[in-house]
Amino acid sequence: MRTHMFKLGLAAAVLAVGACDNKAGDKPTNAQTPEAQKAAGAKTISAGLAADSRFMAAAKAAGLDQTLAGAGPYTVLVPDDAAFDKAPAGTFDTKPENRAQLTGILTNLIIPGTVMAADIDKAIDRGKGKMMLATMGGSTLTATKDGDKIVLTDAKGNKATVTKADDAFSNGVVHHLDSMLMPGKAGAAATTKAGE
Amino acid sequence: MTRLYLAAGVAALAIATPASAKPGEHGAGGRGGEQAAKTQAPARGGGQSQTRMQSRGGNGNTARFENRGGGQRMQQGPRGGGFQMRSVERRPQMQRLERQQSPRFASVQHGRGGNQVERGHGGSGRPTMVDRHVNRAPMATQRIEQRQVRGLDRRQMGAERMVERRQLRGNPIINGDNNRIAVRDQLRGGRVEGFHDRIITRDDLRSGRFARLDDRGAVGYGVGGCPPGLASKGCMPPGQAAKLLGTPLSAAARFTALNELPLSARYLYPDTNDYYYRYGDGYLYRVDRSDQLISALLPLAFGGSSYYPGSYFPSSYMNDYYVPDYYGFNSFYPDSPYGCNRYVNGLVYQMDCASGYIDNVIPLYNSGYGVGQMLPSGYGYYNVPYQYRDMYYDTSDYGYWYAPGAIYQYDPSSSLITSVAALLSPGFSVGQRLPYGYDAYNVPYDYRATYYDTPDNWYRYNNGNIYRVDPTTMLVTALVASILT
C-alpha cells in the first residue's frame, strides 16, 4: 500500500512539474479580453507600429503596448528613433526600475479620442494661433502652426514638429514627431497646496 | 474485520509518513507526527482525512509550531494539524493574563479547555471541519476574555500580544525600528480595541493559512514580520529593506516568505544569466547569480515612499497637501470621518486625521505608477467604470481594477499589476465646463458622420462616451452616445 501511495504521489509530482514547464512565463499576457479585442479592431496601433521602433520598445517596457492594443480610441504622438537617441542617456532604459519614468513620458504622448491633424488645425484657427491638448499623463501640450506644419510644445518648452500626420488605425490615430516631448514634473497634478 | 484492517492501515500510514520525512530537516515535524501516531490514531479509529492530518505533522508545519510552542504543548494537543497547534499555542498568553489576577478569565479558560478536549475527541468523519470549529470556538472565547481583562493593563497586554504574534509567526524581533512600529501599531489598535481585536484574530488565521500554503510551495506574500493589518501590504520599512542589499537571499527570507514571480508577471522582471528575481513583503529582490547576494531591491508597493504605513505623516503637511481635483482624484480619495487623504509628489497618503498615522500609501498613475507594482491593499475590489464592464471583467486568471487614469489588469494571487488594459482621462459630467485641453474635435471615426461640430453644438469624446458641448458657454450639455455599450 505504501509503495502504491508513493507511486501515486510521484506521478502527481511529475505531472505538476510537467504542467509548470508547459506554461510560457516570459511572454507578456494580453490585457485585452476577447470583447475588447473585437472593439479595438484588426489593425491596432500596437500591431501597426514597427515592433522594432524605439517607441514600441519603450511602450513594451512600460506595459503600454497592450494598452495600445485595446479599444481606445487613442491619439498617439510617436517621436522617431532619432528623437529617442537625442534624449539623455538612460532616459529610455527598458530596465524595470526605469518603468515609472517611461510610463510618465509615454502617457504624455497619448491623447484621449481620435484627433486628426485637420481637427488640430481648426482648433488653432479658432484659438487665434494656438490650442491645447490634454494628455493621458496629466500634462497639456500646446499646438501652433509653422507654415503648414503643426508644432507641439510641452510644459518644459521642448518643441516637436508633426512630420507625418493621420496614420490611421482601428483604435485611433498616430502622428509622427521629429523630436521628443517630455511631461511636466509629475504631470499637472504635481504637489498641490491648499488654495492653488 | 474490515474495521480492523482499516485501523491497521491507518496506523501503518501514521508511522510511515513521519518516517518518510527528510531526516534532519524536519526533525521536529517528524516527532510531531510520531506523537500524533501514538496518541491519536488508536483513539480515533481511522479514516482518510485523519491520515491527511497526520501527514501534516510530518511535513514541516509541525516543526514550525513546535519550535515556537515547545514540546509540552505537543503532548497536550491530540492532533498533529497546524490549526490545532495554533489554538494550543495561545495558552501561554492566557496564562500570563491569568497572572494578572482575573478570576473570571481563569474560569473561562477552564471552560474552554474542557470544551476543546471534548471536541478533540469527538471523532468526526470530517476532521478538517472540526479543526475549523475547534479553532474558532477558542478564538471567540478568547476575544471575550481579552475584553474582560483589557482594563487591567492595556499597554502591557499590547506589548505581550505583539511578542506573542511574532513568536507565532516564527520571526525574531529584528531590531528597534521594527519593534517600535509594531508597538506603535498596538497603541493605535488600543483606540479601536474591539475592531482591532477582530482584525488581529482574522489576521492570525489568515497568515496561518498563508504559512501553510507556503510550506507547500504556493505563492503567498506578506507572511511574518509585519505588524497586524500590514501583513498583506508589505510592511518592511525602507530603511530596514535597504540593509538587505549585499546580503544573501536567506537574510531576507528570515523576514518574509520569498517567492518566484507569478507566470503572468515574469515578463516584467525577466531572469537573465546574471541575475534572477524573488519577491516578498512588498519588495522585489534581484539576486546576483555569481555570488547569490541581493544586488538590487525594488519597492513594489507605496511608490517607494519614505513614509510608509505604520509611520506618521508630518503634521506640518496636514493642512497643505490636499488631494488635487485633477482626474477626480479628490472624489476618489475623499476625506471622511474615518480617515484623511493627502497628496505629495504623485502619492496619496491615507491616514488617521488626528494623529497622521499612515494606513496606506497609494501611488497614482500620472506619477508613473502601474505595471509591475502591487495593487494598493484594500483596493482589490472590482470597480471598473460601467461603460467598460462588458470589456474588462474578472476571470480566474486576472482581475481588473480602476484607479484614476487607468484600468489595470492584475494577477490575483500576487496582486501584481501585469498590464494597463485602458488609459482613462479625467471624466466629463453633464453641467460642468469643458475641461482645459479639449479644444480639438476628437470623436472616433465611426461616429464622425453622426456627431460633428456645428456653430451651435460641439461633440467631444471622453472615456467611452460622446458628450455635447455648448460652444458659447463651453458647458457640457448632454451625454449623447456611449460607444462601448
Tell me if B54 sits within 8 A of B14, measured CB to CB: yes
Distance CA B345, CA B420 (A): 21
Amino acid A124: pLDDT = 92
The residue ranges of DSSP E strands in B304-366, in sequence order, are 340-344, 347-351, 358-363
> Which residues sit opposite B409 in a β-bridge?
B400, B419
> pLDDT tens digits for A52-80?
889 999 988 888 888 898 888 999 999 99
Band of the pLDDT at B428, cuts 50, 70, 90?
confident
- Going by pLDDT thresholds of 50, 70 and 90, the confidence category of residue B169 is very low
Distance from CA of A82 to the nearest CA of B (A): 24
Residues 6+ apart with CB under 8 A from B483: B444, B446, B447, B461, B464, B465, B466
Q: What is the ipTM of this complex?
A: 0.80
Q: Which of B27, B88, B24 shows the shortest CA–CA distance to B58?
A: B27
Residue B149, pLDDT above cutoff 60: no
Asked if residue A16 is part of any domain, the answer here is no
Residues of chain B positioned with their CB less than 8 A from the CB of A143 = 440
Query: Which residue of B lies nearest to A32 if distances are taken between CA atoms?
Result: B421
Share of chain B above pLDDT 70, in %: 45
Residue B351: pLDDT band (50, 70, 90) is: confident
Which of A87-96, A124-133, A179-188, B178-187 tops mean pLDDT? A124-133
Task: Return mean pLDDT, chain B.
Answer: 61
Strands, E assignment, B364-427: 399-403, 406-410, 417-423
Q: What letter would DSSP give residue B46?
A: -
Are A63 and B435 in contact (CB < 8 Å)?
A: no
Residue type, B101: Q
By the 8 A CB rule, do A16 and B217 touch? no
By the 8 A CB rule, do B220 and B213 touch?
A: yes
Does residue B458 surpass a pLDDT of 90? yes
In a domain, A137, yes or no: yes
pLDDT (average), residues B156-184: 44
**CA A179 → CA A51, A93, A105, A107, distances in Å?**
19, 18, 13, 16
- Convert the pLDDT of each residue in B463-484 to its tens digit: 888 999 999 999 999 999 888 7
CATH number of A61's domain: 2.30.180.10
Domain count, chain A: 1
The whole-number average pLDDT for the span B14-40 is 39
A61, part of any domain: yes
pLDDT of residue B61: 35
A131 within domain boundaries: yes
Q: Report CB contact under 8 Å: A119, B440.
A: yes
- Encode pLDDT of B64-96 as tens digits: 333 333 333 333 333 333 333 333 334 444 444
Three-class SS of residue A137?
coil
Per-residue pLDDT, B73: 38
Write down the pLDDT at residue B236.
64
Please give, rounded to a whole number of angstroms, the shortest distance from the CA of A114 to a CA of chain B.
5
Q: Within the 49-88 window of chain A, which residues sit less than 8 Å (CB to CB) from chain B? A: 62-64, 66-67, 70-75
Bridge partners (DSSP) of residue B311 are B309
- Across the interface, whether the CB atoms of B263 and A25 are under 8 A apart is answered yes
Under the banding of pLDDT at 50, 70 and 90, the label for residue B113 is very low
Instruction: Map out the domains of chain B with their CATH numbers.
Output: 2-152 (no CATH), 238-297 (no CATH), 315-423 (no CATH), 427-485 (3.10.450.160)
Report the range out of A49-53, B93-97, B134-138, B241-245 with the highest average pLDDT: A49-53
Question: Could you tell me what percent of chain A has a pLDDT over 90?
Answer: 34
Domain that holds residue A89: 36-177
* d(CA A176, nearest CA chain B) in Å: 18
Q: Distance, in angstroms, between B269 CA and closest chain A CA?
A: 6
Q: Which of B182-186, B273-277, B450-454 has the lowest mean pLDDT?
A: B182-186
Least confident of A29-38, A52-61, B40-49, B323-332: B40-49
Q: Does residue A90 carry a pLDDT above 60? A: yes
pLDDT higher than threshold 60 for residue B184: no
Residue A185 counted as domain residue = no
User: Between B345, B368, B443, which is nearest A104 by CB?
Assistant: B368
Model confidence at A162, in pLDDT bands (50, 70, 90)?
Answer: very high
Q: What is the DSSP string of B91-152?
A: HHHHHHHHHTT-HHHHHHHHHHHHHHHHHHTS--S-HHHHHHHHHHHHHHHHHHHHHHHTTT
In a domain, A17, yes or no: no
Nearest to B391 among A28, A71, A188 (CB): A71
Q: Which residues of B touch A137 (CB under 8 A)?
A: 366
